[in-house]
Amino acid sequence: MISALVLLNVQRDAINSTAQELLQIPGVAEVYSVTGEYDLVAVLRLAKYEDLADVVTERMVAIAGITRTHTMMAFKAYSREDLEQAWDIGVE
């Protein structure tokens, strides 16, 4: 499974509708409205790298409200469960 985060700048009057459109794209697992430099963050979970190109460079660019994106690939996922298991077995 490939995971990626896409940071999005969106036209102010289109944030809610853009978030809803993003959720219609296969592979977009979650969309968050956020504070700071970006307006939305999309969490992608994809079967293969080629799917990333389709989602970001074909599907997302077709959404009119998006003005800019910044994509980050995830190398490793950390979770609270991972940390708890590490303490249970003893990490050195």
pLDDT in tens, 1-22: 899 999 999 999 999 999 999 9
What is the chain's length?
A: 92
Q: Is the pLDDT of residue 90 over 90?
A: no
Q: Is the pLDDT of residue 85 over 90?
A: no
Mean pLDDT of 12-40: 97
**In which band, very low, low, confident or very high, does the pLDDT at 79 lie, cut at 50, 70 and 90?**
confident
* Share above pLDDT 90 across residues of the chain, in percent, rounded to a whole number: 78
Range of the domain at 29: 2-89
Provide the domain count of the chain.
1
What's the rounded Cα separation, in Å, for the pair 92 and 2? 29
Q: How far is CA 54 from the centre of its chain?
A: 14
Check which CATH number belongs to the domain holding 25 and give it. 3.30.70.920
